[in-house]
């Protein structure tokens, strides 16, 4: 079968960093390309705890484009293994079930939590993170009976969704309601990311919230706040007027499209700006909670300056090394919080996986997802999909996806 695989070597990495300044197309065209469509064997069940899935739809994620363009920090490479079949936002049908699987049957339409934690790696006792209910932050991503990999899509032993078939451990599989479309099913994973980010930094009704970045995750964070019935004021900073307007429809109250985050913070929150001898202004007062889905040097520094005393900034975006001025951090007693994936949370005195919560909310139409999947492609057209993602505003693209079946 055909699969979209990523791989990179140190010489290839070095060559691309020099030559790709000429054209980004070198990352996905030609002899140095990090991603290729290759022939691989159709997967078999690794053990009786696994199921085989026929893929319907797989979403293309911002982390996928960062991987292909080598934008990620090398620090995470101990927890990846190549070549790996990409894709972790998926919906498909179970076509084979191992003898030890009891909650899933053939014919079920499912989505998959992609993390490869202790239980999936055959490790007992499970690590502290898994015991805490955060298996996506497992301490054993490079241990156990699988090659290193944080997620399906980053592990050479486990296929991803950019192939017609993949296998998943029984602990990864979540059944979808019959009335849910395949596109909605493939969006459960990013919805879970947004929900977990908001639950980990939950605003109160009287808070003023800033979301930096109005792409897929930024939009879903706004939707998550509203799905949780939180009445706080939400501002979104997004340079693309197309994407900013979509966040307005999702429930944002204020849009910042000119990049002037600090000036708009004064207007929205009543903060007061002070000008240092050199450099950017610093605000006293400001937003109480910020979700930065970009998380580069510019946005993090602006966010810290716009965050009020005692405020919490969630770093949702994944970027390389950044340079920060820590003055607002200590001067305003701020908390900067890491965000990655999802786990379990307490809902109405019951322990619940965020995927279950996401599925319930989508079923109740508290999230509006179908219209967010603006472009679909065949697997063979992956290069076109990459190029659409490199200029989303031009193409008026939000979420792009590979569809394997008619009508998905």
Contact, 12 vs 174, CB < 8 A? Answer: no
Q: Which of 229-233, 284-288, 343-347 has the lowest mean pLDDT?
A: 343-347
Same domain, yes or no: 246 and 316: yes
pLDDT digits (tens, 9 = 90+) for 157-174: 999 999 999 999 999 999
- pLDDT value at 4 more than 90: yes
132 found inside a domain? no
Q: Which of 121-125, 330-334, 348-352, 401-405 has the lowest mean pLDDT?
A: 348-352
Work out the angle between the directed axes of helices 188-200 and 216-227 (0-180°, nearest 10): 60
Q: How many folded domains does the chain comprise?
A: 2
**CATH code, domain with 73:** 3.90.180.10
Same domain, yes or no: 107 and 210: no
pLDDT digits (tens, 9 = 90+) for 42-94: 999 999 999 999 999 999 999 999 999 999 888 999 999 999 999 999 999 99
Beta bridge partners of 90: 58
Same domain, yes or no: 36 and 82: yes
Average of pLDDT values for 366-373? 93
Name the pTM for this structure. 0.96
Same domain, yes or no: 203 and 168: no
Same domain, yes or no: 24 and 78: yes
Under the banding of pLDDT at 50, 70 and 90, the label for residue 407 is low
Same domain, yes or no: 158 and 173: yes
Q: What angle do CA 287, 292, 296 make, to 5 degrees?
A: 125
Residue numbers of the domain that contains 293: 192-338
Same domain, yes or no: 174 and 235: no
Same domain, yes or no: 181 and 202: no
Q: Which of 286, 320, 338 is the last residue of a domain?
A: 338
Same domain, yes or no: 109 and 210: no
Looking at residue 408, its pLDDT comes to: 66
Same domain, yes or no: 278 and 299: yes
pLDDT digits (tens, 9 = 90+) for 226-284: 999 999 999 999 999 999 999 999 999 999 999 999 999 999 999 999 999 998 999 99
Q: Which of 204-213, 241-250, 319-328, 360-369 has the lowest mean pLDDT?
A: 319-328
What mean pLDDT is reported for the chain? Answer: 96
d(CA 234, CA 5): 39
**CATH code, domain with 249:** 3.40.50.720
Same domain, yes or no: 239 and 314: yes
328 found inside a domain? yes
Same domain, yes or no: 323 and 394: no
317 found inside a domain? yes
């Amino acid at each position: 079968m055909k699969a979209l695989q990523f791989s990179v070597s140190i010489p290839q990495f070095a060559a691309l960093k020099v030559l790709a300044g000429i054209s980004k197309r070198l990352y996905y065209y030609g002899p140095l390309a990090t991603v290729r469509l290759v022939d691989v064997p159709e997967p078999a069940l690794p053990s009786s705890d696994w199921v085989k899935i026929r893929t319907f739809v797989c979403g293309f994620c911002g982390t996928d484009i960062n991987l292909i363009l080598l934008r990620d920090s090398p620090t995470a490479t101990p927890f990846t293994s190549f070549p790996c079949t990409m894709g972790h936002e998926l919906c498909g049908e179970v076509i084979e079930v191992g003898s030890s699987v009891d909650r899933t049957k053939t014919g079920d339409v499912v989505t998959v939590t992609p993390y490869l934690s202790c239980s999936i790696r055959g490790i007992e006792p499970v690590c502290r993170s898994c015991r805490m209910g955060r298996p996506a932050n497992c301490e054993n991503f490079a241990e156990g009976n699988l090659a290193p990999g944080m997620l399906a899509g980053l592990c050479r032993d486990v296929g991803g969704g950019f192939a017609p078939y993949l296998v998943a451990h029984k602990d990864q599989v979540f059944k979808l309601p019959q009335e849910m479309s395949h596109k909605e099913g493939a969006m459960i994973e990013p919805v879970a990311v947004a929900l977990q980010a908001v639950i980990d930094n939950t605003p109160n009704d009287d808070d003023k919230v800033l979301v930096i970045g109005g792409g897929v995750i930024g939009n879903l964070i706004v939707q998550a706040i509203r799905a949780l019935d939180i009445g706080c004021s939400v501002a979104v900073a997004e340079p693309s007027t197309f994407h900013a307007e979509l966040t307005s429809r999702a429930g944002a109250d204020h849009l910042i499209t000119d990049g002037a985050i600090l000036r708009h913070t004064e207007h929205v929150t009543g903060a007061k700006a002070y000008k240092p001898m050199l450099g950017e202004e610093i605000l006293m007062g400001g937003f109480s909670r910020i979700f930065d889905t970009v998380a580069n040097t510019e946005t993090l520094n602006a966010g810290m300056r716009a965050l009020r005393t005692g405020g919490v900034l969630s770093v949702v975006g994944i970027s390389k090394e950044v340079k920060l001025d820590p003055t607002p951090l200590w001067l305003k007693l701020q908390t900067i919080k890491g965000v990655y994936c999802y786990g379990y949370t307490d809902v109405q005195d019951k322990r619940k996986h965020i995927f279950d919560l996401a599925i319930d909310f989508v079923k109740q139409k508290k999230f509006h997802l179908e219209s967010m999947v603006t472009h679909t492609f065949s697997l063979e057209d992956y290069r076109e999909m990459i190029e659409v993602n490199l200029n989303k505003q031009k193409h008026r693209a939000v979420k792009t996806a590979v569809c394997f079946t008619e009508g998905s």
